[in-house]
């Protein structure tokens, strides 16, 4: 039986746990520092099993001992930015949380594959890789799946075609500098430029980049979790079933696309080893420049995080 640990029992983490169990992919351990929270949510999910017909174990715990021998560890723990909090404040708080999670989880599951969801995502994935000292193929960030799903959704809404026939991929960092590849976006193999004007495509790209902020604006408090949760589970399923899915994920660029020593969204093949391959596709000059700009922004945040953590350690 496969086992997946989800650290962070908030909306995203709980949704990940629920989807994993309902898709009958693995037993799930839900961990959180808040006493009673993972226990209550996991018990509620467990009581869904007679309705959705699965026999997966779902356990909630405040201890990392319960995570022992996990095949995959999903890190969703962290805080959202609050009024009066600077980006540096958020970076420092979440870096300390994620570093603590990675340090504890790797003790009990040294062979696990780590999927990072905590924000700022690309930087936190880099931190998890450095903290766990795992091979880079076993530390992967979720963002490209979510950003691509948002792009696909908006294309379907604009064209009126089924989302089943829409294919699109978003590379780069998870933020304002993400890189939706409009040239490769299709409806059943037909470029979207056959159906949508250049101005409208630009508008779809802008809406994709603001996809998370748009949801936050509606909710007033909190942020998206259904689509992020489902996006994580697509990655989990690809790994556990060794499906060789070609999907965008935040991975360590080691010369790919002219980038080095930075975690960034690139086209990846996922299977039982985690990252099996980074696929090199030929970008045009504009796309390559956008990807480089995104990488530079991530690298700046990595440097800033290292400074903040070093100051805190003094």
d(C-alpha 173, C-alpha 171), whole Å: 7
Pick the closest to residue 212 from 83, 92, 80, 116 (CA basis). 80
d(C-alpha 150, C-alpha 118), whole Å: 18
CB atoms within 10 A of CB 188: 10
Kind plus residue range of the DSSP H or E element containing 241: none
With residues binned 3-state (H G I as helix, E B as strand, rest as coil), the percentages for the chain, rounded to 5, are 50, 20, 30
Q: Which residues pair with 34 in a beta bridge?
A: none
Let me know how long the chain is. Answer: 314
Angle among Cα 77, 313, 173 to the nearest 5 degrees reads 45
DSSP per residue over 5-37, as a string? EEE--SHHHHHHHHHHHHTT--EEEEE-SSTTH
Active-site residues: which are they? 174
Place of tokens 């960030």: 141
d(C-alpha 184, C-alpha 134), whole Å: 33
Question: 90 near 223, Cβ under 8 Å?
Answer: no
Place of tokens 């450095």: 130
Question: 183 near 191, Cβ under 8 Å?
Answer: yes
Angle among Cα 20, 25, 28 to the nearest 5 degrees reads 55
């Amino acid at each position: 039986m496969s086992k997946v640990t989800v650290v962070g029992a908030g909306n995203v983490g709980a949704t990940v746990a629920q989807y994993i169990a309902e898709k009958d992919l693995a037993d799930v351990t839900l961990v959180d520092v808040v006493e009673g929270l993972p226990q209550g949510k996991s018990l509620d999910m467990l009581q869904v099993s007679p309705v959705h017909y699965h026999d997966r174990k779902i356990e909630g715990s405040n201890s990392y001992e319960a995570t022992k021998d996990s095949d995959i560890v999903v890190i969703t723990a962290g805080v959202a930015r609050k009024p009066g909090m600077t980006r540096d404040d958020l970076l420092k708080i979440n870096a300390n949380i994620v570093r603590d999670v990675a340090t504890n989880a790797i003790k009990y599951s040294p062979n696990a594959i780590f999927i990072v969801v905590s924000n700022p995502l690309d930087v936190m994935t880099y931190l998890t890789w450095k903290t766990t000292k795992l091979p880079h193929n076993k530390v992967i960030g979720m963002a490209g799946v979510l950003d691509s799903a948002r792009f696909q959704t908006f294309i379907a809404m604009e064209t009126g075609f089924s989302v089943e026939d829409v294919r699109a991929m978003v590379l780069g960092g998870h933020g304002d500098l993400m890189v939706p590849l409009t040239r490769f976006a299709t409806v059943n193999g037909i470029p979207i430029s056959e159906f949508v004007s250049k101005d409208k495509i630009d508008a779809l790209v802008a809406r994709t980049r603001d996809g998370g902020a748009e949801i936050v604006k509606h909710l007033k408090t909190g942020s998206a979790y259904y689509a992020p949760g489902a996006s994580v589970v697509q990655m989990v399923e690809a790994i556990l079933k060794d499906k060789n899915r070609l999907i965008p994920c935040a991975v360590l660029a080691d010369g790919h696309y002219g980038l080095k020593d930075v975690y960034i969204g690139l086209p990846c093949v996922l299977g039982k080893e985690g990252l099996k391959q980074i696929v090199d596709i030929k970008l045009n000059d504009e796309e390559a420049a956008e990807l480089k700009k995104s990488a530079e922004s991530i690298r700046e945040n990595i440097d800033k995080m290292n400074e903040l953590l070093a100051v805190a350690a003094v």
